[in-house]
Structure 1
Amino acid sequence: MIKESILINGIEYQFETKGNKTELVYDIELTDSKNDDLVNIGIPSILVVTRNSGEILFILECSEGESFEILSASSLYERKIQWFEPLADNYRKLLYVNNKDYVKAAYKLFTWNDIYEFSLIDRSSVAYRTRGSGDWKYVADGANGYILSLIDGVPYWSDAVGQIPFAIDTYRLLRNKNSVKFVGGVFAEGNFSAAIKSLITGELDKTNSWDNYFVLRGSLFAEKKFTYKVLPTGKDYPKNSLNEVITNYDVNNLSKPITKIERDKYL
């Protein structure tokens, strides 16, 4: 049995995990049988996210109309709930992350520099198709099939983070944020048939989903991390060459959510 005492919004709650199940527990003092005083039990408005084996991973704040619930990470993923882009759809505020070692196996562990290093590899656009060599959420040196990644102690859906290598690589190829957005919209489904259909119909992915926000995260980062200079070669042909300069822009800026100004301007 695992017992957890977790502080949420200034109130301490007790949880017990046993038999692959977690429960919210209240200790109530027994009194004289003639004492009929009511005991008020406050149920917090939170979503307690667990492993399939029951251990608590993290806790989110309920949105309007929701009530206390304990659910697995896979169930949360199916509902498309997220906690890392406040302006995107289905956002819930992250209230608590369990940083104990016994839950680390639920995640693939990374730093933002790891994500950046993966993004530096020059890949063709087709490499980012579903299960291609650039499909970060699938490949062994990426999330390796884990639906959750822990980056510098913060959990993320792996398929959200996987948009960043695509965005950075595509920006370095096209050097234009709007072009990255267009390519991302065309290949949103990760396969050629859907991409061809998008090109024919002109129906691009313009939803307010976390995927599009992370594509923008990657391209905004790339715009500041990489600059380009046209330099003379001293030859008749080609007379000039385009040189890429990598700046000292901090890779941890990848952790910053999209602001309202950025959303309104680019999405």
Structure 2
Amino acid sequence: METIVEVDGVPYTFVTENGTTALRLDNKTTASNDTNPADLHLPDIWLVTRSNGMPLFAVRPDVCDKPFRILSADKLYAEKIQWFEPLADFYRERLWVNPKSSVEGSEVYDAYKQHTWQTIIDFAIVDRPSFVYYRNLPGDWKKQSEGGAKFLLCLVEGDPYWTDGLGQIPFAVDTFRKYWEETREVDAAILKTGQTGLDWADGTLGGSDNGSENVYDNFIIIRACLWASENFELVLEKRPMSAQRFGPSGATVASTVFKPSSATRLKTLIDSGTLAKYKTWKP
């Protein structure tokens, strides 16, 4: 099977056979007495494939990287490479996505758990106790059938993401709402949510990813908090309670009510100004 990948305006043909993908380089025919070696140009590209060799997408290597590779998505994930948050560690620019990724029934389509931003939102807005976001419990989106369904990759409206990155969204939305109700201040709630994300980095209290904290998970948490701040409304309600405990006017109770606006914040990269404002890790 042949797949055409265009890199900087130049088309390259990759051939997949028997679970292996290779770049096909077509060279011109030369005279028999021509002893000069042919100049074969390899594209500056890392082509990411399924385990069966089917091309999924491609990223551009950094200047210090090996310029040409064909590697599986599992290998790319093990190297912590990501292509959706430029200011986070291990970023590589995404160059190409297989156009069959959104074609139902294709091998490429089946490599992903297919989602829209709305399906992720539908999961994230459900009220749940905070403890269910613990690893492997019902709030652990990446493991749920209506969430990541244990896939390594999700395709969201044509864009690939690591599933564990998107899995931060429901946790962050729920946690932000909790802190917003407590603090009644958006910025404080975002910062407290970010810190909670660090405290539960591997899905367990006090867990750590054993590396830099400038990783895509924490950027997705900021995205989710900003989205929640624009799609929920903080409602303050006076409730009559024991005058002895709360005084004659009772207590003011805060709640967050879903007021859908748009999914734009979930799609939007974190820029340097936003990062400086909400970053909860060092350096």
Taking structure 1 as the reference length, the TM-score comes to: 0.90
TM-superposed deviation, 1:32: 2.1
1:121 equivalenced with 2:133 (yes/no): no
Are 2:254 and 1:254 aligned? no
Measured in 1, the distance between the counterparts of 2:56 and 2:200 equals 32
Paired residues, what number? Answer: 257
How far did residue 190 of structure 1 move? 1.0
Say whether the 8 Å CA contact 2:232–2:260 is kept in structure 1: no
1:85 match: 85
- CA deviations on 1:115-147 (whole Å, 9 max, x unpaired) are 111001112222111111111111111111101
Deviation at 1:257, TM superposition (A): 1.1
Q: 1:205: how far off?
A: 8.7
| Secondary structure of the corresponding residue to residue 6 of structure 1 | strand
Is residue 2:116 matched to residue 1:111?
Answer: yes
Superposition map of 1:1-267 within 5 A = 2-66=1-65, 67-100=67-100, 101-175=106-180, 176-192=189-205, 194=206, 207-233=213-239, 235=240, 238-267=250-279
Quick one: distance in 2 between partners of 1:128 and 1:236?
32
- C-alpha deviation, 1:241, in angstroms: 3.9
* Helix, strand or coil at the partner of 1:102: coil
Q: Give the AA of the match of 1:141.
A: E
C-alpha distance in structure 2 between counterparts of 1:122 and 1:20, whole Å: 44
CA separation in 1, counterparts of 2:256 and 2:58? 43
TM-score (norm 2): 0.85
- Post-superposition CA distance 1:162-203 (Å, at most 9, x none): 0011000111111111111121111112124x35xx8xxxxx
Distance in 2, Cα, partners of 1:191 & 1:240? 33
Partner deviation per Cα, 1:205-257 (whole Å, 9 max, x = no partner) = 97101111111111111111112132345x46645443434334212431111
Consecutive unaligned residues of structure 2, counting only runs of 5 or more, are 101-105, 181-188, 243-249
How far apart, in 1, do the equivalents of 2:193 and 2:268 lie?
19
The residue aligned with 1:201 is none
**5+ unaligned residues in a row in structure 1: which ranges?**
199-203
Q: Within 2, Cα distance between the matches of 1:229 and 1:20? A: 56
Q: Secondary structure at the match of 2:143?
A: coil
- 107-116 or 219-228: bigger deviation: 219-228
Please say if residues 185 and 205 of structure 1, whose CA atoms lie closer than 8 Å, have aligned partners that are also in contact: no
Tell me how far apart the structure 2 counterparts of residues 243 and 132 of structure 1 sit (CA, whole Å).
Answer: 25
